[in-house]
Amino acid sequence: MQSTILMAAEYGPPDVLEFVAVDLPSLDRAKVRVQVKAAGINPIDARRMTGEFRHGGLPQTFGTEFAGVIVEVPPGSTDWKVGDEVLGSGDGFTHASVIDVPIGNLVARPPAMAWPVAGTLAGVAQTATTVLDELGELKTLLIHGASGGVGSIAIQLARERGITVVATASEKNLGYLRELGAIAVPYGDGLIARLEQVHPAPFDASIDMAGTEEATQAALARVKADGPLVTIAGRKVSSPRIKPAWVKRNRANLEHVVQAVAEGRMRWTVSATFPFAKAADAYTAVLDGHTRGKSALVF
Ligand SMILES: NC(=O)c1ccc[n+]([C@@H]2O[C@H](COP(=O)([O-])OP(=O)(O)OC[C@H]3O[C@@H](n4cnc5c(N)ncnc54)[C@H](OP(=O)(O)O)[C@@H]3O)[C@@H](O)[C@H]2O)c1
């Protein structure tokens, strides 16, 4: 079977992306073969393309999540069968028409869930849950850059845990943050004073999705002295108090969010879909850093 794979042989802007047709090897016994229907585009994909992150060298493939239909299972498989509709995670290879995925990563697609929704939940669900679990018990939380993918889910998971959330975004996304359950504050000059106005007491903790110096300074100023301050942005920070956090894959955490979205208890926004053939346009949009919810490639 052939797969059309999005690849880049060099680092650079979206025009380094190319489509390569590859004959897939025979299926590994620990994997299933999936025809991809939709795949989320995450900032990490675009940042690997530019060379800001250089994990595995060149040429490189992309994509950390997907939803699709199983087209082949290993002999004797009892977990899944051909035709099953699934979603899950993959380490930098899901932007391709057909992918081989470790069996342990899969979750059934809820029947009524649209493909772009199903294909965009794995990264944000597992990242937001990891970070909240690592922060431990909280009553109040400050989230910087919360109208994007991880922030949208983090707000709702935190609210589910009874946490009061104050979240930042640009003016155009403040109403959206309120709909998700947060007290919304615009980022930009005067942020610390605005945070104090809406939440005079110090926060128990903060999460930074934006990676800006402004977010660092606001966290230092507005979180209590022994409160944890974390960043997921993967950017250099000016204070040793800000600790990096990285996603840990956990199928139960993913299933929790998938069910909540399927049952309408949690809101999820796919703000743009791009045909796979237009992947360069999609990466350009994601590099801009102002996605509401998530963007998806559709196949
Ligand atoms: N550590 C990990 O394991 C992990 C996992 C997933 C993602 N990440 C990283 O975490 C970051 C967030 O991911 P995401 O998918 O949620 O990103 P995203 O969807 O692109 O969201 C970016 C958010 O940042 C806000 N923003 C943009 N400029 C800002 C500024 N100057 N100050 C404050 N906020 C600003 C945007 O709001 P407006 O649109 O309103 O400006 C939006 O809410 C990315 O850097 C990504 O690479 C890390």
Predicted pLDDT at 279: 98
Q: Tell me if 206 sits within 8 A of 223, measured CB to CB.
A: yes
pTM over 0.95: yes
Residue nearest to atom 19 of ligand 1 (CA): 148
Atom of ligand 1 nearest to the CA of 293: 19
The model's pLDDT over 64-96, given as tens digits with 9 standing for 90+, comes to 999 999 999 999 999 899 999 999 999 999 999
With a cut of 90, say whether residue 126 has pLDDT above it.
yes
Percent of the chain with pLDDT over 90: 97
Mutation pick for ligand 1 pocket among 271, 290, 291, 292 (CB with most ligand atoms within 8 Å): 290
CA triple 171-185-190, angle to 5 deg = 95
With a cut of 90, say whether residue 252 has pLDDT above it.
yes
Predicted pLDDT at 57: 93
Mutation pick for ligand 1 pocket among 142, 150, 173, 295 (CB with most ligand atoms within 8 Å): 150
The first and second tokens of residue 54, run together, are: 């250089």
Ranges in the chain annotated CATH 3.90.180.10: 2-121+268-298
Which residue ranges have their beta carbon within 6 Å of ligand 1? 42-44, 47, 123, 127, 144-151, 168-170, 173, 187, 209-212, 215, 232-234, 245-247, 289-291
Calculate how far, in angstroms, residue 28's C-alpha sits from the geometric centre of ligand 1. Answer: 35
Query: Residue 107: which H helix or E strand, with range?
Result: strand 106-108
CATH class of 2-121+268-298: alpha beta
User: How far apart are alpha carbons 152 and 167 in whole angstroms?
Assistant: 10
Phi, psi of 73 (to 5 degrees): -125, 160
274 class by beta-carbon count within 10 Å (0-12 exposed, 13-18 middle, 19+ buried): buried
Ranges in the chain annotated CATH 3.40.50.720: 124-244
With a cut of 90, say whether residue 55 has pLDDT above it.
no
The rounded mean pLDDT for the chain is 97
With a cut of 90, say whether residue 56 has pLDDT above it.
no
With a cut of 90, say whether residue 46 has pLDDT above it.
yes
Q: 124-244 has which CATH code?
A: 3.40.50.720
Strand order in the sheet with 2-8: 17-23, 2-8, 60-61
